[in-house]
Amino acid sequence: MNIKKQFTEGLITNNPVLVQLIGMCATMAITTTLFNGVGMGLSVLIILTCCNVVVSAIRKIIPNEIRLAIFVVIIAGFVTIVDLLLQAYIPALSDALGVFIPLIVVNCIIIGRAEAFCQKNTVGASFFDGIFQGLGYTLVLIVMCVFRELLGSGRFGGGLIDIVNGFRFTLDGTGSGIQIFPEDFGASILTLPFGGFITLGLLIAIMQYALKKSAKKKEAAAKAEKEAEEVC
Amino acid sequence: MLTNIISISLGAILINNFIFSQFLGCCPFLGCSSKVDTATGMGLAVVFVMGLASAICWVIDQFILVPLGLEFLQTLAFILVIASLVQFVEMFLKKSVPSLYSALGIYLPLITTNCAVLGVVLLNVQNDYNFIESVVYGITGGLGFMLAIVLFASVRERVAFSDYPECFEGFPICLVSAGLLALAFMGFSGMQIFA
């Protein structure tokens, strides 16, 4: 298992949200501003990487019958740590995400990776798997945030980017973002729950289209090669 | 007291429906809704576990965690309570009410990872509900989930026969129809109850 393959798997061909179709509750709920999306994505990335390393390090001493209970306890421990750290250092993010930070415990991405990957692989491979799967998740969150925020309220980078006092990144969630077009022209329905369902549906549809197309291309290439060989 | 309970129940079932406005419990909502029968089974199991989990977690929170100053362990304690509760309910039903057990069957273990259950328990703590309010919120939240999943299953049974672009096969078309249902549920959001 090499790193480059893991990278493309995590970000594209085996993306947790778009291809494995797991961890969708938070994906639809919190993608209203870029601040929330980046914060949630990075929290999941950190928790996923830590859990992957711990689970793969103790994979040989975990009794098979109670492995799920052990995974849940490990995950809940790391989630509590991240939750307390956010409350202490980035309270705005902790307020904005609310109950969805503790709910990372039941996010299927983390328990899914522990069950499907870390049980059978070394610590190093699991570490990179955590980082790349986390990046894949963050990428989807960012795409959804940008789409919903831009078309919903005409803004880009709300909460995260502040342009009032010169261009800078803020961590207290007060950044006004860059207003691309007046808010009145935005389809504000995209920032409501309806927008979450529709945007994720469209994204998965685009992904399925792209994957199918690339599979067809590969098939055609293989066919052409075979024919060429036969001619020779 | 009574008005309070009515407003909590209407809020949990219609106005702040767990799925259509809070996005809690979307995984089983999308995964177990291909037929109305299975959706009803899943819904019943969730109502049952959510009510029970609200009651037990409230007791544990108020009589163990708060007096000892261990509120930071809430997430860990609640998920363990829910996981063991689901196990116990499964064993209890298997022994004493086999008919209900076979009806709920495979859905019971899945409920542990349903974020609506952990979500309702955490929201009870966040909203400072007392025991009765917590139990009412748990049960009516479950009823809201059941309403949503049964409605959605009947929509999906019809979507299966319709003609949509090939790349929307599977999840995307479900998400789009769920979005339209969420739009319908938005109609309740203007409702004011004894405010």
| pLDDT given for residue A53 in this prediction | 94
From chain A, the residues in CB contact with B26 under 8 A are: 24-25, 28
- CA A96 to chain B, closest CA, distance in angstroms equals 14
- CA A85 to chain B, closest CA, distance in angstroms equals 12
Distance between terminal CA atoms of chain B? 14
The pLDDT of A185-209, averaged and rounded, is 88
State the SS3 of B126-186. HCCCCHHHHHHHHHHHHHHHHHHHHHHHHHHHHHCCCCCCHHHCCHHHHHHHHHHHHHHHH
Q: Which of B111, B23, B16 is nearest to A36 (CA)?
A: B23
Among A102-106, A179-183, B75-79, which stretch is predicted with the lowest mean pLDDT?
Answer: A179-183
Find the radius of gyration of the CA atoms of chain A. 20
Three-state secondary structure call for residue B70: coil
Asked if B175 and A198 come within 8 Å (Cβ–Cβ), the reply is: yes
- CA A208 to chain B, closest CA, distance in angstroms equals 6
* B155 contacts chain A (CB < 8 A): no
In this model, does residue A214 exceed pLDDT 70? yes
| pLDDT given for residue B194 in this prediction | 55
Q: Using CA atoms, how far apart are residues A221 and A214, in angstroms rounded to an integer?
A: 10
Identify the helix (H) or strand (E) that includes residue A46.
helix A34-57
B127-162 pLDDT, tens digit each: 899 999 999 999 999 999 999 999 999 999 888 888
What residues contact B42, with CB distance under 8 A and at least 6 apart?
B28, B32, B33, B107, B110, B149
Asked if B24 and A79 come within 8 Å (Cβ–Cβ), the reply is: no
From chain A, the residues in CB contact with B159 under 8 A are: none
Q: Around Cβ A40, how many Cβ atoms within 10 Å?
A: 25
Query: Do residues A75 and A42 lie in contact, with contact meaning Cβ atoms separated by under 8 Å?
Result: no
Residue A1's pLDDT band (boundaries 50, 70, 90)?
low
Of B20, B27, B170, the CB nearest to A25: B27
Burial of A114 (0-12, 13-18, 19+ CB in 10 A): buried
- CA B128 to chain A, closest CA, distance in angstroms equals 14
The pLDDT of A134-147, averaged and rounded, is 92
| Interface with B, mutate which of A67, A194, A200 (most B CBs under 10 A) | A194
| Interface with A, mutate which of B46, B115, B159 (most A CBs under 10 A) | B115
User: Chain A residues contacting B, CB < 8 Å?
Assistant: 21-22, 24-26, 28-29, 69, 72-73, 76-77, 79-80, 83-84, 98-99, 102-103, 105-108, 111, 189, 192-198, 200-202, 204-206, 208-209, 212
| pLDDT given for residue B48 in this prediction | 87
Asked if B23 and A196 come within 8 Å (Cβ–Cβ), the reply is: yes
Of B79, B170, B171, the CB nearest to A72: B79
Residue of A nearest to B25 (CA): A25
Q: Using CA atoms, how far apart are residues B73 and B88, in angstroms rounded to an integer?
A: 22
Burial letters for B15-33: b for 16+ Cβ neighbours within 10 Å, e otherwise? bbbbbbbbbbbbbbbbbbb
Among A160-164, B15-19, B66-70, B190-194, which stretch is predicted with the lowest mean pLDDT?
Answer: B190-194
User: Where do the structural domains in chain A lie, given as residue ranges?
Assistant: 3-231
ipTM confidence score: 0.84
| pLDDT given for residue B171 in this prediction | 85
Of A11 and B113, the one with more pLDDT: A11
Asked if B175 and A192 come within 8 Å (Cβ–Cβ), the reply is: no
Residue of B nearest to A112 (CA): B113
Of A102, A196, A205, the CB nearest to B172: A205
The beta-carbon contacts of A6-14 under 8 Å, at least 24 apart in sequence, are: A6/A125, A6/A128, A6/A129, A6/A132, A7/A128, A7/A132, A9/A132, A10/A129, A10/A131, A10/A132, A10/A133, A10/A134, A10/A135, A10/A136, A11/A132, A11/A135, A11/A136, A11/A139, A12/A136, A13/A211, A14/A136
For residue B155, give both structure tokens: 């929509």
In this model, does residue A159 exceed pLDDT 90? no
| Interface with B, mutate which of A84, A99, A202 (most B CBs under 10 A) | A99
* B131 contacts chain A (CB < 8 A): no
In this model, does residue A219 exceed pLDDT 70? yes
A2-29 pLDDT, tens digit each: 788 888 888 888 888 888 888 888 888 8
In this model, does residue A94 exceed pLDDT 60? yes
From chain B, the residues in CB contact with A69 under 8 A are: 83
Asked if B26 and A24 come within 8 Å (Cβ–Cβ), the reply is: yes
